[in-house]
Amino acid sequence: MAEKLRVGIVGASGYGGVQLVRLLLDHPRVEIAYLGANQNAGVPFGELYPQLAHRIDRVCEAVELDRIVEACSVVFLATPNGIAYTLAPGLLAGGLRVFDLSADYRFVNLETYQSWYGGDRHDAAVAREAVYGLPELYRERIRTARLVGCPGCYPTASLLAAAPLLKQGLIDPRSLIIDAKSGVSGAGRTLKTGSLFAEADSSVAAYSVARHRHIPEIEQICSDLAGMRVQVQFTPHLIPMARGMLVTLYAQLRDPGLVSEDMLTIYEAFYRQASAVRVLGSGIYPQTKWASGTNTCFIGLEVDQRTERVIVLSALDNLVKGQSGQAIQAMNLTQGWEEMLGLPAVGFYP
């Protein structure tokens, strides 16, 4: 039997970390060799998450580069923004493959990162090596990458909805409007007033209007796809549910003669080799419940011939395809394995 790949998780105690643990425990080709969590160093992981105690008996460890390099071949950095860029250079120098779930290595231009996220960056050479980890768009680059900057949840849902339109030149890029809604887990496990039950329950609210930090990430990839500078109007909303994300995209068609059936044919062809994307049939629109717990993004669309606009809807689990599952999908590519190996494609219903 082939030796299993030894993987580590830094930031194992957060929502992203526990999703990685849950998914990797069911992956047939890997072994969890290290769990890093400074605030919980010395605490058995099963005490933090008792529901997993029967599956994993590892203790959380302090984050020490030498220990990670000794224990692992691959490491996932499920840390807050601003931490990965202090760790990745040393991990790469130690011969590890690194998958960063934060925003630290998503940007081609570090000045863009610093203007939106702050921080004092001195790792430009390392950042230039990073590959944006959206498999449906950059599959071949990911296969040979040593450092993968895994996309955010909003960018994943938005870009999968927009990519065929921009790549095929079907819309006026200046008309792109993205309305996005996320479950509360997207805010992470740390205490925030807006995430409290009494604040979020029975209420829907927009936040970070015109200034959300995922805007430059979405615009960077949209510009790459369109071959020109693209700016988007992006508005996120918090929905009173634990997990799930729904994006509704609007754009002006260049060819007003296109109908919904034409557009569906284009999307089906574009995602023909994408095992994590499901393009729905005519008149079927995605629901967040369908994607819950899975690494699948569901896409539906409609052409409004009256307004000459296309409306594209995408739904995914913000913690799986929008975060940890997608990172594992990228890892699978770097190992030459089937892209969805170990990843759930069907959720619980109802």
Nearest to 235 by CA among 179, 194, 184: 179
Number of H helices, E strands in the chain: 13, 13
What DSSP line would sit under 105-171, residue for residue?
Answer: TS-S-HHHHHHHH------HHHHHH-EE--HHHHHHHHHT-SEEEPPPHHHHHHHHHHHHHHHTT-B
What dihedral do alpha carbons 262, 266, 271, 276 form, nearest 10°?
-30
Catalytic residue among 60, 153, 222, 297: 153
If you search the block for the tokens 């203007």, which residue do you land on? 115
319 neighbors 269 (Cβ within 8 angstroms): no
If you search the block for the tokens 């960018």, which residue do you land on? 155
328 vs 321: CA distance, rounded Å:
9
200 neighbors 143 (Cβ within 8 angstroms): no
Q: Is 60 a catalytic residue?
A: no
**Token digits for 185?**
């887990």
Length of the chain: 350
List, by residue number, the catalytic residues: 153
